[in-house]
């Protein structure tokens, strides 16, 4: 039976019983009700309401179940979406890593060979060719610089080779070089170890937070800290810029959240006109 008819029927039945009782029962209401009549009416109304709500509740039960199932499904979908974007992120990082390695190991080395070869030739060719050779050498150098820049953007080699504190120091240096804001870096010694994936997440979140601070916040100062919180590691990037609305989930913020999830971490972003703080906590491995 449709829910609508069920509700009509239940209400109808309760009202019918009440009417019948009024008609057949030993009840009467005077033109100016006395207290005893009012009490009887009140009790009657209460009984009606309770009966009605009890009956309605049982018929609404299936709906509540559906709503609960719907919520659960929604949550599951959200989890799956997050998991699949985390997978996509991981795949993207792996691919970047591979391309960077090939560029570094193959193209980079070959260009180095050419560069050194040209230098070595310069002393053996007729002088009239020296300028041309020097120009070739500069082009090769530019090519090598380009490869190096691309590799650096693709894969933070410093993270793998020198670890997270050094990689953060390098980010801070980059930031100081390209922005007028000063950056203060605090890394507590003796941090618990993180998995390589978690380190990469911390690095990318710091990178994104610094990029935001430099690009949008017009900050004068930024503090970058990596500290221990129990058996977790906390990254905090705080700037004194003009802040932004954290409800409008920009690409950068969404990216940070997805990365945080990838490392089973928690990300909190607070922002006011006095500055923005990005805080990421990740469990140690």
Partner 1 sequence: MTAARILLADDHALVRRGVRLILDQEPDLTVVAEAGDGAEAVERVRDTDVDLVILDIAMPRMTGLQAAREIGRRSSRGEPPRMLMLSMHDNEQYFFESLKLGACGYVLKSVADEDLVGACRAALRGEAFVYPGAMGALVRDYLDRMRRGERVPETVLTEREDEVLKLIAEGSSSKEIARALTISIKTVERHRANILAKLGMRDRTQLTRYAIRAGLIEP
| 277 within 8 A of 269, measured Cβ to Cβ | yes
Reduced to 3 states, what is the DSSP secondary structure of residue 156? coil
Cα 163 from Cα 185, distance rounded (Å): 15
Q: Report the site for partner 1 in 116-135 (rule: CB under 8 A).
A: 116-120, 123
Q: For partner 1, give the closer residue by CB, 11 or 179.
A: 179
Per CB under 8 A, the list member of 69, 145, 220, 249 interacting with partner 1 is 145
CB of 96 to partner 1, least distance (A): 16
Residues in the chain: 285
In the region spanning residues 208 to 247, those forming contacts with partner 1, defined by CB under 8 A, are: none
Q: How far is the CB of 67 from partner 1 (least distance, A)?
A: 54
Binding-site member from 136, 169, 228, 246 for partner 1 (CB under 8 A): 169
Smallest separation (angstroms) from partner 1 to the CB of 129: 17
**Distance, CA of 249 to CA of 73 (rounded, Å):** 23
For 140, 181, 238, 239, 250, the CA distances from 219, given in Å and listed in that order, are: 38, 6, 10, 6, 19
Verify binding: residue 105, partner 1, rule CB under 8 A. yes
Half-sphere exposure of 276 (CA within 13 A, CB side): 23
Among 59, 85, 133, 165, binds partner 1 (CB under 8 A): 165
Of 120 and 248, nearer to partner 1 (C-beta) is: 120
Residue linked to tokens 């190991």:
105
Give 161 or 231: the residue with its C-beta nearer to partner 1: 161
Size of the site for partner 1 (CB under 8 A): 39
Q: Is 261 in the site for partner 1 (CB under 8 A)?
A: no
Residue 142 CB, nearest approach to partner 1 (Å): 9
Shortest reach from residue 154's CB to partner 1, in Å? 12
Does 151 engage in binding with partner 1 (CB under 8 A)? yes
Query: How buried is 140 (Cβ within 10 angstroms: 0-12 exposed, 13-18 middle, 19+ buried)?
Result: buried
Report long-range pairs for 172-175 (Cβ below 8 Å, ≥24 apart).
172/210, 172/224, 175/210, 175/213, 175/214, 175/222
The rounded distance, in Å, linking the Cα atoms of 82 and 61 is: 32
- The contact set with partner 1 (CB under 8 A) reads 104-105, 108-110, 112-113, 115-120, 123, 137, 141, 144-145, 147-149, 151-152, 157-158, 161-162, 165-167, 169-170, 173, 176-178, 182, 185, 189
């Amino acid at each position: 039976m449709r829910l609508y008819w069920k509700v009509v029927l239940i209400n109808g039945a309760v009202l019918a019983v009440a009417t019948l009782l009024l008609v057949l029962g030993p009840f009467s209401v005077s033109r100016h009700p006395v207290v005893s009549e009012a009490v009887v009416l009140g009790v009657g109304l209460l009984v009606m309401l309770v009966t009605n709500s009890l009956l309605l509740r049982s018929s609404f039960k299936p709906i509540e179940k559906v709503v609960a199932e719907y919520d659960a499904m929604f949550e599951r979908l959200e989890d799956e979406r997050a998991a699949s974007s985390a997978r996509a992120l991981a795949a993207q990082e792996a691919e970047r890593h591979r391309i960077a390695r090939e560029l570094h190991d193959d193209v980079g080395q070959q260009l180095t060979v050419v560069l050194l070869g040209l230098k070595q030739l310069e002393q053996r060719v007729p002088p009239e060719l020296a300028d041309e050779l020097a120009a070739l050498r500069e082009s090769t150098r530019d090519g090598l610089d380009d490869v190096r820049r691309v590799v650096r953007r693709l894969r933070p080699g410093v993270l793998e080779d020198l670890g997270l504190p050094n990689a953060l120091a390098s980010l801070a240096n980059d930031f100081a070089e390209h922005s007028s804001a000063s950056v203060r870096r605090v890394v507590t010694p003796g941090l618990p170890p993180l998995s390589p994936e978690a380190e990469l997440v911390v690095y990318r979140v710091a990178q994104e937070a610094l990029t935001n601070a430099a690009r949008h916040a017009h900050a004068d100062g930024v503090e970058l800290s990596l500290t221990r919180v129990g058996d977790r590691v906390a990254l905090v990037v705080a700037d004194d810029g003009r802040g932004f609305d954290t409800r409008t989930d920009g690409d950068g913020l969404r990216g940070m959240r997805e990365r945080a999830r990838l490392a089973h971490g928690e990300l909190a972003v607070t922002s006011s006109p006095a500055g923005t703080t990005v805080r990421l906590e990740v469990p140690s491995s």
